[in-house]
Amino acid sequence: MTTGQEFNRDTNYITTRITRDGAEGYPVEPGRYRLVVSRACPWANRSIIVRRLLGLEDAISMGVCGPTHDRRSWTFDLDPGGVDPVLGIERIQDAYFARFPDYPRGITVPAIVDVPTGAVVTNDYPQITLDLSTEWARYHREGAPQLYPEHLRDEIDEVALRVFKDVNNGVYRCGFAGSQESYERAYHRLFGAMDWLEERLSKQRFLVGDTITEADVRLFTTLVRFDPVYHGHFKCNRQKLIEFPALWGYARDLFQTPGFGDTIDFDQIKRHYYVVHEDINPTRIVPAGPDLSNWLTPHHREQLGGRPFGDGTPPGPVREGERVAAGHTPLAQA
């Protein structure tokens, strides 16, 4: 980033898809693939939530990188010996290089890896969650919700696009702005979208329709990071999330819904942003706050109607080995 420039996200991902017909060489096959994530990353957090909501834990295993990384890649420093127990690698970059020895772009999570070859299949995070909903439908748990129902796809896509451009990516446009002018443009664009969402969610419980959809997953992972990180670290400080009545109630509603809050590790989220972004936070001091107990306060969003899972059911308890560490979320004390 040079002075005066706006932040532009590199969206050239590995677009190979895992499909029912295996048209691109990777057929849907339970046990064959490993989803590699970091709980710190909002883009990876989406896939963690969708995998859990749909009950795909037995079909697709999950490897979890630590919250920090260096210029080379994310590492498996949470695992014994710093090695992923399934892939046998220390860094997710090894899976990228197994398929593309001269891979020139960013080494990102989430990524899905073909376990037999150890090679990355895709890191196209928006398509990953859509394919989990559609291509993997045969392996969804009984009672899994319809996160991308056909009759709502156009509206979901429309809402999700604005959420991505102005909110999900908007906070980064503020945080990594290269000039005062580019920062202020991003700032006003972000809060214009937040005001639009506040108005929309003051009248309906969820973003599209009367159940949780892909659009809600995509917004939630930014909202849950807003006050702990984006408000201060990225200078998104017109208002805190807790100062938006509808958005704050909506965020708590989702947080308290199985599959959402139980994937959130606030300690890892804060460590990632405040430690990795040395250009923004050169001291690498991680804030002690904010108090997180308010995430469990009543939200009263049920008064707007709607059924979170439609005709389906909530997912069961988090699997052993996939639980957020005690003390890293207020849910541990709930």
User: What ranges do the domains of the chain cover?
Assistant: 33-139, 152-317+324-333
Element (H, E) at 224: helix 214-225
Q: What pLDDT score was predicted for residue 4?
A: 52
Q: What pLDDT score was predicted for residue 264?
A: 98
Pick from 78, 104, 81: which is nearest to 93 by CA?
104
Residues 37 and 44 sit within 8 Å (Cβ to Cβ): yes
Confidence of residue 68 (pLDDT cuts 50, 70, 90): very high
Tokens 């210029």 identify what position? 71
CATH code for residues 152-317+324-333: 1.20.1050.10
Q: What pLDDT score was predicted for residue 72?
A: 83
Has 41 been annotated as catalytic? yes
As a whole number, mean pLDDT of residues 255-276 equals 98
As a whole number, mean pLDDT of residues 259-288 equals 97
33, 172, 250, 273: the catalytic one is 172
Chain-wide mean pLDDT for the chain? 96
Q: What pLDDT score was predicted for residue 1?
A: 40
Residue type, 182: S
Give the Cα separation of 317 and 169 in Å (integer).
31
Residues 137 and 131 sit within 8 Å (Cβ to Cβ): no
Q: What pLDDT score was predicted for residue 304?
A: 98
As a whole number, mean pLDDT of residues 109-122 equals 98
Higher model confidence: residue 333 or residue 116? 116
Pairing of strands 119-122, 61-65: unpaired
Confidence of residue 113 (pLDDT cuts 50, 70, 90): very high
26, 33, 41, 183: the catalytic one is 41
Q: Structure tokens of 193?
A: 């979208």
Q: What is the DSSP string of 19-81?
A: BTT-TTS-B--TTSEEEEEETT-HHHHHHHHHHHHHT-TTTSEEEEE-S-B-SS-BB-TTSGG
As a whole number, mean pLDDT of residues 166-188 equals 98
CATH of 33-139, one of 2.60.40.2470, 3.40.30.10, 3.40.50.300, 3.40.50.720: 3.40.30.10
Pick from 58, 49, 40: which is nearest to 258 by CA?
49
Residues 65 and 78 sit within 8 Å (Cβ to Cβ): yes
Q: What is the pLDDT of residues 53-63, one digit of tens each?
A: 999 999 999 99
As a whole number, mean pLDDT of residues 201-227 equals 98
Confidence of residue 2 (pLDDT cuts 50, 70, 90): very low
Has 174 been annotated as catalytic? no
As a whole number, mean pLDDT of residues 159-163 equals 98
**Alpha-carbon dihedral angle through residues 53, 198, 244, 189, given to the nearest 10 degrees:** 100
Q: What pLDDT score was predicted for residue 3?
A: 44
Element (H, E) at 119: strand 119-122
Residue percentage of the chain with pLDDT more than 70:
97
